[in-house]
Amino acid sequence: MITTEQHEKLRGWFAGRLPDDLFEEVAELTVDREEITVIGRIPEPRLAEDASAAERAAALKARIEEFRERTREARIEVAREAEHRFRRKVSWGVECGGERAMFTHIAAPVMTRLRQPERQVLDTLIAGGVARSRSDALAWCVRLVQRHTDDWLTELRESLEQVQRVRAQGPDAEPEDAAPDDE
């Protein structure tokens, strides 16, 4: 969890560091303990107004693939700098014509202990074909909670930011110029 100010500094760093012609704009920048995800908007391919849905889908897929290959070296260079500076892996994705595609992302292991009733929920999801494994079932549950509790999670994140601001004013706080995101 990072503060709003840290997120803004991170977003500013990427805005300043990314080549001007890489994205039309950075559509989303998400951060957690392990990963920074950068999703940029790229231009849609030009198609005839009467293009079919199949033609449009194929054009979007081809545009995304072309962008991925053409920009690989530039994205790797920026990711290396960011990973060194912010001590997190960088993942990339794009939005194009309403489609979103992720190029890279990490799957971080999360250790948890579940009691039998909780394991039975996961096993039921597996038996029902919703998930292939307990790990997939747990990820499905997290996505379901995320989808239905955005307001609650937003309020919780705002509360955590306030706690971090209060802690930062305490006697053990580091001077501002020594903050890890300003290295």
**Per-residue pLDDT tens listing for the chain (183 residues):** 678 888 999 999 999 999 999 999 988 999 988 999 999 999 999 999 999 999 999 999 999 999 999 999 999 999 999 999 999 999 999 999 999 999 988 887 777 889 999 999 999 999 999 999 999 999 999 888 888 777 777 888 888 888 888 888 888 766 654 444 544
Indicate yes or no: pTM above 0.95: no
- Rounded to whole angstroms, the Cα distance separating 177 from 73 reads 32
Measured from the Cβ of residue 95, the count of other Cβ atoms closer than 10 Å reads: 19
